[in-house]
Structure 1
Amino acid sequence: MLPIAAVLGVALVLHSARRKQPFIDVRMLARNRPLTVTYLRAGAVLMIVYCILYGFAQWLESGAGFSTSQAGLITMPMSLLAAVSSVTGGRTKGIRGPFIVSIGAALAGCICLFFIDSSKSAWIIAAAVVCFGVPQGMFSTATQTAVYLQAPADEIGTAAGLQRTAGYLGAIAATSLLGALYGKTASDHGLHSLAIVMGVLSACLFVATIFDRTIPRIATV
């Protein structure tokens, strides 16, 4: 399916480049590098987020043996932190800071995941995954602000739609990665492999974000 997807992707780009009002404005992406970088970062971080939202609960139930209600309670602190970090991120004037904190929290969460297994208590498992609440909340609000600052005023609607598209692509990539690493059943080995892949990606994003000059210094919206 990958070669087919590549061919169709190229066809979509060529078709969109010839249309005056395309579904995906590739011309806007080509001439607006800061906005394109924002989309790429959003897709990558949201892939990590969806790996946790989809894959961690699956591991809790099939790998660690928790019930559905227990799995929900274990992930509740992460959800609460996501809500708190969303409010905090919305009140922060800068954008680079929330990006770095969010990605750094994801990296810390990946490191913690590597050291847990099905023999650990629910409290330890909940503590290991709680860091992923920060990118769920703070990163989303910072990305939305960045899109509004970097997109032309007459293309805000299109830019906001492409932001959602980047998120959906991240979710699709997450399900593909989970299928490749988990196989038929989520196991400790699959979780640790997932932590390694997400950790490497988080580390690369962390360094790239620190040196990214396309990020606006101050949010003035």
Structure 2
Amino acid sequence: MSNSPRTGIAVAGLSLGTALNPLNSSMIAVALVVLRADFGLDVATVTWVITAFYLTSAAGQPLMGRLADRFGPRRLFMLGMGLVAVTCALAPFAPNFALLCVARAFMALGTATAFPSAVVMVAALARQANVKSTRPLGRIQMANTSAAAVGPVVGGLLVSLVGWQALFLINVPLSIAAILLVRRFAPADEGRERGRASELLRDSDIPGILAFLGAMVLVMMALLNVLPAYRWWLLGSGMLLAVLFVWRELRFSPPFLDLRLLGRNRPLLLVYLGFALFSGVYYFAFFGLPQLLQEAGGYDPGIVGLLMLPLAAMSVVVTPLAVRAIDRFGVKRVLIAGVVLLIVASGAMWLLTASFAIPLVFGLTALLGVPYGVVGIASSQGMYLSTRMEERGVAAGIYQTCRYLGAITATVLIGIFYGTGVNQENWGLMVFVMLGLGAVVFVVSLLWREREKT
């Protein structure tokens, strides 16, 4: 087999693995109401099945990017997919909601290996096929961007036909297929750093990871008012841990989250900030809308999945068009156009305070799919252009962390807004927040410039 077909199959395997993280982040959206009923939960508590996944992904992505740089992306990718297969085979038998959240965390850790590993492998894949790196990178980015949009459709069908357990079981054959394709067709890892397990632990900045995760958990517990009598203690402790995390990362080498990388690279910092805020806007709709349609609109989860289908379809259709537009007009122009569309789509969501008519919902989800595809691709291309080759593994990991920081913020705020009821009035308040965040994304996009080559 010639190199070009081998590369195409390898990219397909990497894309499949890369798709599992965003796919699983969004499939769960249409299962929240079912999980609440099965486990007897309230709105704020059930969001922890999302939050556990995002917290682990947010902490795991930068770490996995650094491990891919140090020890080999192909090896790390297969290890992560193996963890996904085992976890998802066992998760449907979880006897309580707490263990289900633990399973989601392990699944997130396994899927977190995929995107950073794939980005690190791009150069080798391009050399193997004798093509520009933008070709394999574009395909991997398309999988990463479009998978989340397909999630509610797939999730709605699985929940309706089988139950929430199917959301885990579907990952078993997919992760195994990704392992087999990458093992057979991806190029072998180049010479990488080797060392003893004790050295790996010493250099992995475990205190930094724990401080990052602890700060996020404590702040979210305070925002969700999990322990009302200790709310301000939780918030204060979370902020203190955040300060200690920053202090630690600036002093430790190599840090879990390279804050100095952001400090010396303004274009990359703007990409991260804009993408985190964009993700917050998007996941407001992504997780808030299915709950609204099910509880206030009275639609079955399967119907909700179908109502979200235009979002998935438009995102998939628009993504390759956005790639070609970037080649012609540049990243910045396409990014700004996508953000303008995001603001328009967010404002149009207010119409749902008046009606749940199926044609209206279809039109709104289709409209939202356009900026998701455009901004997602433009942001990832901006990240790639704003980063030196030797930093792309950890940069890709931090980029994914920004996605989940935005998603975590959205889920926390959804829990707050819907805490008094999943209804059209509270949805209207959420739309105003989406518009405010969208305006900030627009300003950030105007400020971004492509990093000068050095």
TM-score above 0.5:
yes
- The whole-number CA distance in structure 2 between the counterparts of 1:156 and 1:143 is 14
Contact 1:41 1:205 in 2 (8 A): yes
Residues 106-135 of structure 1, C-alpha deviation per residue, up to 9 Å, x if partnerless? 211121111223644111122123222123
Name the structure 2 match of 1:137. Answer: 373
Contact 1:64 1:117 in 2 (8 A): no
| Counterpart AA for 1:25 | D
Pairing of 1:35-184 with structure 2 (within 5 A): 35-91=268-324, 92-93=326-327, 94-117=330-353, 119-184=355-420
Deviating 4+ runs (over 6 angstroms): none
Residues 3-39 of structure 1, C-alpha deviation per residue, up to 9 Å, x if partnerless? 2222111111111111111110011111111111110
- The whole-number CA distance in structure 1 between the counterparts of 2:237 and 2:335 is 34
Judge which range, 137-146 or 39-48, deviates more.
137-146
Residues 150-170 of structure 1, C-alpha deviation per residue, up to 9 Å, x if partnerless? 112211111111001111101
- The whole-number CA distance in structure 2 between the counterparts of 1:90 and 1:101 is 13
Residues 58-85 of structure 1, C-alpha deviation per residue, up to 9 Å, x if partnerless? 1110111111111111111111111112
Contact 1:116 1:128 in 2 (8 A): no
Q: Which runs of 5+ in 1 are unaligned?
A: none
Which of 8, 11, 14 is matched with 2:247 structurally?
14
Contact 2:273 2:402 in 1 (8 A): yes
Query: Percentage identity across aligned positions?
Result: 28
| 1:201 is the counterpart of 2:437 | yes
| 1:185 is the counterpart of 2:421 | yes
- The whole-number CA distance in structure 2 between the counterparts of 1:4 and 1:126 is 44
Contact 1:86 1:141 in 2 (8 A): yes
Contact 1:96 1:215 in 2 (8 A): yes
Q: Computing the radius of gyration over CA atoms, which structure comes out larger, 1 or 2?
A: 2
- The whole-number CA distance in structure 2 between the counterparts of 1:110 and 1:166 is 20
Count how many residue pairs are aligned between Structure 1 and Structure 2.
Answer: 216
Residues 185-205 of structure 1, C-alpha deviation per residue, up to 9 Å, x if partnerless? 321011111111101221232
Q: What secondary structure is seen at the aligned counterpart in 2 of 1:145?
A: helix
Name the structure 2 match of 1:5. Answer: 238
* Aligned-pair CA distance for 1:184: 4.8
- The whole-number CA distance in structure 2 between the counterparts of 1:30 and 1:114 is 38
Structure 2-normalised TM-score?
Answer: 0.46
Q: What secondary structure is seen at the aligned counterpart in 2 of 1:116?
A: helix
Which of 239, 261, 265 is matched with 1:32 structurally?
265
Contact 1:62 1:185 in 2 (8 A): no
Q: Which runs of 5+ in 2 are unaligned?
A: 1-221, 223-234
Q: What secondary structure is seen at the aligned counterpart in 1 of 2:413?
A: helix
The alignment's C-alpha RMSD in Å is: 1.8
- The whole-number CA distance in structure 2 between the counterparts of 1:87 and 1:101 is 16
Judge which range, 25-34 or 112-121, deviates more.
112-121
Judge which range, 116-125 or 104-113, deviates more.
116-125
Name the structure 1 match of 2:167. Answer: none
* Aligned-pair CA distance for 1:97: 2.2
Larger RCO, structures 1/2 (Cα 8 Å, 6+ apart): 1
| Counterpart AA for 1:200 | G
Structure 1-normalised TM-score?
Answer: 0.91
Name the structure 1 match of 2:144. Answer: none
